[in-house]
Each structure stands twice: as C-alpha cells, then as structure tokens.
Structure 1
Amino acid sequence: MSTPAPGPLHRETMRVEARHTVPAIAPDWPGFADMPPVLATAIMVGFMEQTCITALRPYLQAGQHTVGTRVDMSHVAATPVGMRITAEVELTSVQGRTLTFRVSCHDDAGLIGEGIHNRAIIDVERFLARVASKQGEAAT
C-alpha cells in the first residue's frame, strides 16, 4: 500500500431521492414512519463513509479494504428530495493502519453536516476469519 499524504483527497455528489429520506430508511422502525421526508442522517453519514472508501481504493493492495472505526459527525440542516449533496473528505492523519478524515457535506443551500471519521485498513481474509470465529464462539 502507498498511503496517501494528508490533505484534500476526494469529493462526490449525489441527488437525494425518496429512498434516502427518514421515513424510507428503516421501515422496521415505526418511529421513523411519520418523520419529515428529508435526507436521513444515516444516509448522510454513509455517503461520507462511501466517499472515504472511494478515495482510498487506489492506495490499497489486492485483498485490502477499509472499515469504519469512528464516526463523530453533526447533521445541522435538512435536505429535501431532489436536492444534490456533495461530500468532501480530507485525510488529516495516518497512524499505522488507522486513517483519520475531516469530512463535510453540503447541499445546494450550504453546509448540512461535518465531522471526523476514522477508517482502519484490513486484510479481508484475516478479518473474515475473525468474524467467523466470533460467530462460532457465539453459537456455543
């Protein structure tokens, strides 16, 4: 892996659709059903994570991925269906396999969220072996 240097790294844009809204995000959770149809916080956070993942892909070796280990974000403004959102990620720190990002998300009207996101570089085979071991331990 050739780790990227700290600094601005990547930006992605998407249009908010009805399936990204609070009532649509978790139909199994009845508390969300009558909420306003605006961008769900979970979708905003996931979109910022996806932007970090995409930014890192060129730097990873075959068999490596990254997993989220910390999310500390605010969601300060509502975004209606049809509006575009843009996530920007900046790598601020590399400590071994831990990467720290400053992330922000804007819609067409301005800032909607920002914060810090950490990701860890993993070897997928070893990671899945540990998950399988955990499943076996839980079954006993």
Structure 2
Amino acid sequence: MKQFCEAVMTVTEEKTAKAMGSGDLPVLATPAMIALMENAAMRCAAEGLPQGITTVGVRMEVSHDRASGLGAEITARATLLEKAERSFTFRVEAFEGETRIGEGTHVRATVQADRFLAKLNRG
C-alpha cells in the first residue's frame, strides 16, 4: 500500500461545469475534480490488496476553492491518513501548478468485487 499517490488530467470541454451539468461556465467541474481526487486515492488503496478485493468510495468531504479554465493541468494528491480493518482515510488535494484549488478527506472501503457486483445484479 502506498502512502501517497497522484493523478493528473487536463481540463477539457467534457470536464467543465457546463458540460457536466454542475454549472453553466466553461471551468473545471467540481465533480471532475472529485473524480480525480478519488482516482488518486483508489490507486494508493489498490497497492497490495489481495486478488479479488477492491475499494469503493464511501465518503468525500471537499472544498473547491479556485476555478481552473480550459487547458489547465490539474494534479490530485491523496495521502493516507488512516488504515482501519476495512477502510482507508485519505487527505485529498487538487492543484493547478503550485496553487491548491481544492482539498478535503476521502474514505474508501474494501469489498470483495464479485460479491459486491452480485448484490447489484440481484435487485
């Protein structure tokens, strides 16, 4: 398990608030920033998990503090704060260059992938 992971993306039309329906401006959508943060945390949690075990996001508390325009490169960082028996808690941050544009905490829970999916298919 890694203690620190990053994920990077470029703000494209598809990742704007206008395109995602979370706003009406051509700026980085909060849901896109959150997805990038979650991806960084998922990568950290995945390291060293047994075959067939994965993690799912169960809690996200973040602020989106600065706007980023088209073409901006965004880096999300996840730092492990706590590992419990079946969950991981991360500090998550998003940056445009050296400027932090968002921050918060994210919790991921471990699940057995096939059992998790089987429950979905029963309903």
TM-score (norm 2): 0.92
Q: How far apart in 2 are the matches of 1:12 and 1:22? A: 20
The number of residue pairs the alignment matches comes to 123
Deviations 1:12-43 (A, max 9, x none): 222111110011114xxxx74xx110000000
2:8 to 5, 8, 13: 13
Query: What is the Cα deviation at residue 130 of structure 1?
Result: 2.1
User: Residue 56 of structure 1: CA displacement?
Assistant: 2.3
Hey, what does 1:124 align to over in structure 2? 113
Gaps of 5+ in 2: none
TM-score for the superposition, normalised by structure 1: 0.81
RMSD: 1.6
Inter-partner Cα distance in structure 1 for 2:72 and 2:56: 29
**Identical pairs, percent:** 34
2:45 paired residue number:
56
The code of the aligned residue for 1:22 comes to A
Secondary structure of residue in 1 paired with 2:47:
helix
Which structure shows the higher helix fraction?
Answer: 1
The equivalent position to 2:73 in structure 1, one of 69, 84, 90, is 84
**Counterpart mapping for 1:1-140 below 5 A:** 4=1, 8-26=3-21, 32=23, 35-108=24-97, 110-133=99-122, 135=123
Q: CA deviation at 1:64?
A: 1.2
In 1, the alpha carbon distance for the partners of 2:98 and 2:80 equals 25
Measure, in 1, the Cα distance between the counterparts of 2:82 and 2:98: 30
